[in-house]
Amino acid sequence: METLFTRIINKMFKKQLELLYGSGSYVDISDIKFCTQNKNYLITCKLYLSDLELFKEVGDDGLKYILNEVKKYTGFIEEKFVCLISYDTI
């Protein structure tokens, strides 16, 4: 499931990622786990960005929006997600 999310984000939402975080930006999702206590999914991902000024304006809200859009393509529309996002520059 991690590779599916990663491919959808990096292929279908490539232009949106580049608008939000600079050219060449991409996301690597390392893990998606279901938390039984909270009844939601925990997504652990790393955002590789190239423009720090754009990141200061947008923050991680842009990536959370893209992840919510990806839910529509994967069939997890009703599921709740919690994102654990780390950052690195290219």
- pLDDT 10s digits, 20-66: 999 999 999 999 999 999 899 999 999 999 999 999 999 999 999 99
What does the pLDDT average to over 6-20?
95
Q: Per-residue confidence at 8, pLDDT binned at 50, 70, 90?
A: very high
Structure tokens at 88: 């690195």
DSSP, collapsed to helix, strand or coil, labels residue 50 as coil
pLDDT at 1 over 90: no
**Class of domain 2-89 (CATH, top level):** alpha beta
pTM of the shown model: 0.89
Domain ranges of the chain: 2-89
46 pairs with which residues across the strands?
28, 86
Task: Quote the pLDDT of residue 11.
Answer: 96
